[in-house]
Homo-oligomer: A and B are copies of this chain.
Amino acid sequence: MINIGLIGCGTVGSGVVKLLQKNSEVIAKRAGCRINIKKIAEIDAEKITNLALPEDIVTADINEILNAPDIDIVVELIGGLEPAYNYIMTAMHQGKHVVTANKDLIAVKSKEIFKLAADKNLDFCFEASVAGGIPVIYPLKHSLSANNINAVIGILNGTTNYILTKMTDQGQSLQEVLREAQALGYAEANPDADVAGLDAARKIAILSSIAFNSSVSLDDVYVEGILDVTPSDIEHARALGYVIKLLAIAEADERQQVQVRVHPAFIPKSHPIATVNDVYNAVFIHGDAVGDIMLYGRGAGQAPTASAVVGDIIEVARNTVQNVGRRVGCAFYGEKTVLNISELSTQYYIRMKVQDKPGVLASIAGVFGANRVSISTVLQPVSYGEWAELILITHKVKEQDLQESLLLLKDMSMVSAINSVIRVEGAEN
């Protein structure tokens, strides 16, 4: 029998308890032993009243878990940086394996945590921290381990994917959809971390660390949210054969350099990730041997997240039963350099308001050309009186060249406004 101590019994924690209870037979067979919840650290004892657990299982004293000699695995589900970090490090110092769903923490402290786990020969598992129940971290560390991973492209935030899907299907504005999403419980009352791209940024930092065996932390990720995406941009994307998604992208080149970024992007309708809608998540991976694969499912929710947490618990239990201290860690032997966004080369969609008179397009094209930005597509401008809306898509160009062009264009009297600049992914090679 393996004893676990649970820290936090909120939505995910109580999901873990329910899943361990519901599937206890099959879990015991697969783990090779019974998994017993020994203690739950939770200040609000009310939370466990509906969980068919003995009353004395709950404690407000974290040390009853961290110092308990008979607890093998600590399952941290309170989230956030502190006190979670302190609890996890203390648990490992006490020789306990750790399972967690804590993306906030791993996105900034993976180096320290992975190192202690390695030094102590302990398992540290966090499948639930990215994309809920979808197996992603485990496949990267196991099934795909023969590959050099070149790229990971994720839809890693259900709230923003729901919002963009509804904006696309119903032509509504972001604010309208956001209110609906909040009413349905798909968006938090304070949705900032989601719509600003921060949640996705944490997750791609974690995924790229695993994919590239190289430390990537939240600070390394360039982040743009979806607040500036308008129904007009979505409509133009559709007309041009694209959909707009909030993509989390990590790419590695052959010179040991990586680029990690989160931003709205045009992606061709025919790309597998373009069909991922509503609150679903997906991770698209390119490996040098396996080619393109995609892993798809629910990236959040009580039961899917519990599926990932309990899957990790079963893995650690198997290791413990077989007396393997830890089996596969997360070594950062890659030591890849993280590039600044200015080094990026990609395509761009640009929507701007310009004077509707002869020669304007030539002048604008001239500015782009002088800055090494070549244009792939220009839509027939739609005129409204003195002004016209100009939509264009560039070839693959350097971000820095693009930004310098835009600075120059903004100062030109014939340009009233640069309304939207959205990167275009997955089209040109």
A72 within 8 A of B: no
Partner of A307, one of B290, B295, B314: B290
Give chain B residues whose Cβ lies under 8 Å from the Cβ of A19.
146, 289
Give chain B residues whose Cβ lies under 8 Å from the Cβ of A328.
30, 318
Q: When the two chains form their complex, are residues B133 and A142 in contact, meaning their CB atoms are under 8 A apart?
A: no
Kindly state the separation between the CA atoms of A308 and B298 in the bound complex, as whole angstroms.
Answer: 25
A231 within 8 A of B: no
A272 within 8 A of B: yes
Kindly state the separation between the CA atoms of A124 and B304 in the bound complex, as whole angstroms.
Answer: 29
Give chain B residues whose Cβ lies under 8 Å from the Cβ of A306.
146, 289
Q: When the two chains form their complex, are residues B23 and A147 in contact, meaning their CB atoms are under 8 A apart?
A: yes
Known contacts: A29-B213, A272-B275, A272-B296. The answer to whether A304 contacts B290 by CB under 8 A is yes
Q: Say how many copies of this protein the assembly contains.
A: 2
Give chain B residues whose Cβ lies under 8 Å from the Cβ of A244.
none
A10 within 8 A of B: no
A311 within 8 A of B: yes
Partner of A146, one of B23, B148, B287, B324: B23
Nearest-neighbor residue (CB-CB) of A270 within chain B: B277
Q: When the two chains form their complex, are residues B146 and A307 in contact, meaning their CB atoms are under 8 A apart?
A: yes
Count A-side interface residues using an 8 Å CB cutoff: 54
A350 within 8 A of B: no
Give chain B residues whose Cβ lies under 8 Å from the Cβ of A272.
275, 296
Contact digits for A299-329, partner B, Cβ 8 Å, 1 yes 0 no: 0010110111011011100100010100110
Nearest-neighbor residue (CB-CB) of A147 within chain B: B307
Q: When the two chains form their complex, are residues B311 and A318 in contact, meaning their CB atoms are under 8 A apart?
A: no
Give chain B residues whose Cβ lies under 8 Å from the Cβ of A293.
133-135, 295-298
Kindly state the separation between the CA atoms of A324 and B272 in the bound complex, as whole angstroms.
Answer: 39
Least CB distance, A27 to chain B, in whole angstroms:
6
A291 within 8 A of B: yes
Least CB distance, A334 to chain B, in whole angstroms:
9
Least CB distance, A285 to chain B, in whole angstroms:
9
Q: When the two chains form their complex, are residues A314 and B145 in contact, meaning their CB atoms are under 8 A apart?
A: yes
- The 22 sampled A-B contact pairs (Cβ below 8 Å) are A23-B147, A23-B289, A26-B213, A27-B145, A29-B331, A30-B328, A133-B293, A138-B143, A139-B143, A143-B308, A145-B314, A146-B306, A146-B313, A272-B296, A275-B275, A287-B307, A290-B303, A291-B304, A294-B295, A294-B296, A318-B328, A324-B324
